[in-house]
Amino acid sequence: MSPPTPAIGTIRVFDTPATLAESGAKFLCDRAERSRGRFVVNLSGGSTPKRLYEALAVPTLLKRFPWDRTHFVFGDERFVPPDDPDSNAHMATEALFARAPVPPDNIHRVPTVGVTPEQAAEEYQRTLVWLYGGDVLVPDRPLFDVTFLGVGDDGHTASLIPGQPVLHERTRWVAPVAHGRPEVRITMTYPALESSRAVVFLLTGEGKRAILDRLLSGDDTVPAGKLRPHGETLWFADRAAAGRWAG
């Protein structure tokens, strides 16, 4: 029997987390190579994305990737110092930036030192407005070329955490999330995340099977299920997470 069709987007299933990471890195490299001008990648935190960033830092891709014209931003960040092991920017630095020739000015970290969470969100929004070249998002001119997102067991994505007021934010592009996690988070909101040419959700392991099944079935009661990207939606899952969707 052929596998069911996702309610939104397309699913690609890989045998293992390692093959998913390699294919995800190649996917990004292909998109970047085919693009013209500035290429903007929106990074996520989490363990699955980390493997993909490491997979980008291999000799073949290091050589091919247009590092000079690629900019990196973060879909969410924990409000901790930049060298804290919980910092998403720290993770990306270890996995990718320390190994790839990314111009330092092309890495846009969420400020977390010497500012309040509210100021950090405002400052980061200004960075995004600068990158976009305007403060009104136009559907056919996305803010990001590729947005990578993880999904938690509770259906959160980026730091769009169930029950938090940020889920209703339609004006700001970036907002602080003061509750729901041990530390304050700074997250992009739906309007910003949706302004992507491609959103790629990354899920691996059996623990993600139930939430992935709900999302692919069209469950829009959890934060990840409410996202409606203007461009493509892709689900990259390993066999363990894909379950019945693997075919």
Residues of this chain that bind ligand 6PG (CB under 6 A): 44-48, 76, 88, 150-152, 156-158
Q: Which amino acid type is present at position 127?
A: T
Angle at which helices 47-56 and 17-34 pack, to 10 degrees?
60
Identify which of residues 135 and 153 has a Cβ nearer to ligand 6PG in the complex: 153
* Least Å from the CB of residue 204 to ligand 6PG: 7
* Least Å from the CB of residue 97 to ligand 6PG: 17
* Least Å from the CB of residue 207 to ligand 6PG: 8
Identify which of residues 157 and 196 has a Cβ nearer to ligand 6PG in the complex: 157
Question: In terms of C-beta distances under 8 Å and separation of at least 24 residues, what long-range contacts does 106-109 make, across chains too?
Answer: 106/67, 106/68, 106/70, 106/71, 106/72, 107/71, 107/72, 108/71, 108/72, 108/73, 108/74, 109/74, 109/77, 109/82
Burial environment of residue 68 by CB neighbours within 10 A (0 to 12, 13 to 18, 19 or more)? exposed
Identify which of residues 92 and 102 has a Cβ nearer to ligand 6PG in the complex: 92
Identify which of residues 45 and 117 has a Cβ nearer to ligand 6PG in the complex: 45
* Least Å from the CB of residue 92 to ligand 6PG: 11
Identify which of residues 15 and 153 has a Cβ nearer to ligand 6PG in the complex: 153
* Least Å from the CB of residue 151 to ligand 6PG: 6
